[in-house]
Structure 1
Amino acid sequence: MPPTDASTEADTDPAARVAPGSGPDAGTRTHTGSDPGAATDCEDTLDLRLPDELIALFARGTERPGDAAAEAGEPWGFADAGVGGVGDPWAGDSGVGGGDLLDRVGGWGPVTTGVGVFQLVPVRPDRDAPLVSRWMNDPAVAAFWELEGPESVVEKHLRPQVDGDGRSVPCLGVLDGVPMSYWEIYRADLDPLARHYPARPHDTGIHLLLGAVADRGRGLGSVLLRSVADHVLDKRPSCARVVAEPDLRNTPSVSAFLSAGFRYSAEVDLPDKRAALMVRDRALRDLL
């Protein structure tokens, strides 16, 4: 089971947002040539070779847009295409989320929200562990995620997901080109959580933390939770419900899920906490 759910505070002004800082502010928690077998009834053959210039042109055409951006100092690869711009530099990423268990989270693309253009970008530990580790070392985050300490603690948490079968995909939440939150999108029906509630096939779970203190308590979490939950339902037609299990003690998190259109379903006793089972139903998404 992923750690615990992120706390996102209830909102007073859903549209208001202060740009996240670059420091350790954090929120709270939880994949040519000819055929040698062809007919040879002609004695003479013609050995054709493409010009070097043409080969180089083809090679450039197969590069990911994000590669050039990373070389230019844009580590999240948005310099050329931009989030929501022409082309999605992450759509062809065969890394995390490359399997079928979550319908390729890495290729879902951006979504327009009331607070900006948002995209889930699968985590690359070599690139993202330092940032996520700084967020996890905020005391408010550590109280629920319990991943504080050296960077290796976060790497140990990320690696099984990144190298696993795709049932849980850790992501950075990138808002208007700025990484500002950490998410885990996971198959709740394939998670140990399923032992504690009447799971249905393809139930999809969410964990979230907001990275910057300035992004908490302003309703930003509720806006993003609603947008991401609906994005899951749009991109996963086999999924009828998005679920979450915030710690009951984490009142701001429970409130944020309620404001995001989730309904309180039950209290569940998990190995590490007593949780509120929150559910956003496809059938009720236009009513809540």
Structure 2
Amino acid sequence: MITWRRVTEDDFPLLRRWLSRPHVARWWNHETDAAAVARDFGPVARGEEPAEDWIALLDGVPLGLVQRCLWDDYPEYLAELASVTEVPRGAATVDYLIGDPAFTGRGVGPRVIGAMIERTWLDHPDTPAVLVPVVAANRASWRALEKAGLVRVAEGEMEPDNPIDDRLHYVYRIDRPTEGGATAHPPTG
């Protein structure tokens, strides 16, 4: 069972280890020294920034990180995404990594993504959809989104996290389930 706890400063050594793993470093392209991790994760951990960082645990064992935020809280990134696809007011996004390589390639990623989306519907009752842009070259990431029930609704150029990547991104979306529990089909195009 996937459970969650918010990232605290005590988690920074764990984040440093995960970010330095080759399978993570390829796509996250993040500095891994203590000062950089404190600089980049500290404001969220202290509640100074509106995003949320969560440690995903499987049966109590930390296995990855999910960052969640509302697009409206980050106007620069919202504008970039809105140049590629329609973004409903109040929409959320997630970014994720499986830090422990023992959990990669085992279907855990889609479970983590799906569990955070379910939590998003509960935590943010006014959020109509979750939209996730992913660099097109990161097939494992966009396949995990598809397996978690998200649908590709657009593609276009966006700034990649890693400068070695092409600007082409796919945008995935899932809408809040309807009253009967069925997931609404997002618009495509």
Using structure 1 for the length normalisation, give the TM-score: 0.55
- Name the amino acid aligned to 2:137: R
Find the residue that maps to 1:217 and give its secondary structure.
Answer: coil
- Matching residue's letter, 1:207: D
1:138 is aligned to 21
Q: Which secondary structure does the structure 2 equivalent of 1:255 belong to? A: helix
Q: Deviations over 1:141-195 (max 9, x none)?
A: 1111111432222111102323454421112112222211111011122223210
Does residue 155 (structure 1) correspond to residue 49 (structure 2)? The answer is no
Match in the other structure for 1:96: none
Alignment partners' CA distance in 1, 2:94 and 2:156: 16
Match of 2:114 among 226, 241, 252: 226
Partner residue, 2:163: none
Match of 1:253 in 2: 141
C-alpha change, 1:248 and 1:199, in structure 2 (3 Å) is: same
Q: Give yes or no for the alignment of 1:243 onto 2:131.
A: yes
Q: 1:211, CA displacement in angstroms?
A: 1.5
Distance between the aligned counterparts of 1:169 and 1:147, measured in 2?
Answer: 18
Structure with more strand by fraction: 2
Secondary structure in 1 aligned to 2:88? coil
Which of residues 117, 120, 129 is equivalent to 2:4?
Answer: 120
- Residue 195 of structure 1 corresponds to 79
SS in structure 2 of the partner of residue 246 of structure 1: strand
* 3-state secondary structure, aligned to 2:27: helix
Give, in whole Å, the separation in 2 of the partners of 1:264 and 1:216: 23
Aligned 8 A contact 1:233 1:242 in 2: no
Say whether residues 1:185 and 2:64 are aligned partners: no
Structure 1 Cα separation of the partners of residues 152 and 24 of structure 2 = 23
Contact 1:181 1:208 in 2 (8 A): yes
2:182 maps to amino acid: D
Separation in 2 of the partners of 1:164 and 1:283? 29
- The amino acid across from 2:170 in the alignment is A
Counterpart check, 1:275 vs 2:169: yes
Residue by residue, what CA displacement relative to the aligned partner does 1:224-251 show, whole Å, maximum 9, x if unpaired?
2112112211222101101211211100
1:211 matches 2:99: yes
Q: How much identity, in percent, do the aligned residues show?
A: 22
**For the Cα contact (< 8 Å) 2:7–2:53, is it kept in 1?**
yes
Instruction: For 1:281 and 1:177, locate their aligned partners in 2 and report how far apart those are by CA, in whole Å.
Output: 29
Q: Distance in 2 between matches of 1:188 and 1:215?
A: 29
What does residue 286 of structure 1 align with?
182
Amino acid at match of 2:113: L
Number of residue equivalences: 171
Task: Provide, for residues 199-258 of structure 1, a one-character-per-residue CA deviation record: whole Å limited to 9, x for no partner.
Answer: 222111101101111211111111221121122112221011012112111001101101
**For 2:172, what is the secondary structure of its paired residue?**
strand
Instruction: Say if 1:181 and 1:211, in contact at 8 Å, map to a contact too.
Output: yes
Structure 1: gaps of 5 or more residues: 1-115
User: Any unmatched runs of 5+ in structure 2?
Assistant: 161-166
Alpha-carbon distance between aligned partners in 2 of 1:120 and 1:156, rounded to the nearest angstrom: 23
Q: Which structure 1 residue ranges, 4+ long, deviate > 6 Å from structure 2?
A: none
**Higher relative contact order structure (alpha carbons within 8 Å, sequence separation ≥ 6):** 1
RMSD of Structure 2 on Structure 1 (CA): 1.9
Q: Which amino acid aligns with 1:120?
A: W
